[in-house]
């Protein structure tokens, strides 16, 4: 099919949502752990993790303030800390379930069955037994005025990952660990390696 801008605008709203979201391709599924001023923990799946830089280590997240992600945004802005957690493909149903619109006084950890874990004197909750756990500090909120989305910029405070999946050159072998990948609003995958390639030269 070949669709121009006008034809895209004319699509059924639900069709367009699934079409454009899935068209954006594969992305890291990340469970964002946060906590409210009242001590209420929260866990939400995001598929918008962005690598912004390695020195200092900065990651971004796109947030839609009108969505179920609004609690996470509020917690990050008020508490200044959050966690990023990658889980196994085997946990895809639990991970997806964190996107349900639970009431504000309810913890998704309990509801979906991930164990909440605190360590490193860090205020935000981690997912116990996650393949990767990253402690993040909120740095900056950038409003994308074109459509009201928000880029949350955070700095990496701590990384917990098993030695066995970190190669001698620093590469983290997430595929070997079976880390969950997502596409669109509801599709989940694991990966099969094609290979790593040397630095490209002309």
Task: Please tell me the count of residues contacting a copy of itself according to CB under 8 A.
Answer: 106
User: Would the CA dihedral through 70, 44, 135, 116 be positive or negative?
Assistant: positive
Does the protein bind a copy of itself through residue 146 (CB under 8 A)? yes
Residues 63-82 that bind a copy of itself (CB under 8 A): none
Nearest one of 111, 112, 142, 107 to 124, comparing CA atoms: 107
Min dist. Cβ of residue 38 to a copy of itself (A) = 20
Specify the residue, 27 or 70, whose C-beta has the smaller distance to a copy of itself: 27
Min dist. Cβ of residue 105 to a copy of itself (A) = 12
Does the protein bind a copy of itself through residue 48 (CB under 8 A)? yes
Does the protein bind a copy of itself through residue 40 (CB under 8 A)? no
Count of residues for the chain? 202
Kindly state the helix (H) or strand (E) to which residue 58 belongs, with its residue range.
strand 57-63
Does the protein bind a copy of itself through residue 189 (CB under 8 A)? yes
Residues 85-114 that bind a copy of itself (CB under 8 A): 86, 89, 92-93, 96-103, 106, 111
Give CA angle at 162 (159, 163), nearest 5°.
Answer: 105
Which structure tokens are listed for 64? 């839609």
Min dist. Cβ of residue 189 to a copy of itself (A) = 4
Does the protein bind a copy of itself through residue 8 (CB under 8 A)? yes
Region near a copy of itself per CB under 8 A, out of 34-42, 74-82, 159-167: 159-167
Relative to beta strand 116-117, strand 132-144 is unpaired
Does the protein bind a copy of itself through residue 27 (CB under 8 A)? yes
Kindly state the helix (H) or strand (E) to which residue 116 belongs, with its residue range.
strand 116-117
In the three-class reduction of DSSP (H, G, I as helix; E, B as strand; rest coil), residue 55 is classed as coil
């Amino acid at each position: 099919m070949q669709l121009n801008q006008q034809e895209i605008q004319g699509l059924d709203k639900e069709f367009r949502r699934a079409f454009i979201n899935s068209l954006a391709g594969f992305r890291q599924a990340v469970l964002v752990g946060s906590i409210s001023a009242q001590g209420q923990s929260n866990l939400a799946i995001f598929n918008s993790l962005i690598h912004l830089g390695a020195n200092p280590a900065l990651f971004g997240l796109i947030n839609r303030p009108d969505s179920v992600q609004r609690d996470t945004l509020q917690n990050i802005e008020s508490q200044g800390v959050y966690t990023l957690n990658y889980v196994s493909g085997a946990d895809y149903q639990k991970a997806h379930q964190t996107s349900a619109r639970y009431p504000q006084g309810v913890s998704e950890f309990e509801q979906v069955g991930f164990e909440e874990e605190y360590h490193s004197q860090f205020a935000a909750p981690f997912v116990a037994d996650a393949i990767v756990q990253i402690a993040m500090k909120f740095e900056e909120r950038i409003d994308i005025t074109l459509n009201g989305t928000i880029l949350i910029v955070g700095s990496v405070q701590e990384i917990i990952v098993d030695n066995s999946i970190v190669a001698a050159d620093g590469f983290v072998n997430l595929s070997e660990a079976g880390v969950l990948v997502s596409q669109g609003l509801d599709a989940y995958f694991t990966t099969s390696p094609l290979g790593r390639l040397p630095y490209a030269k002309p």
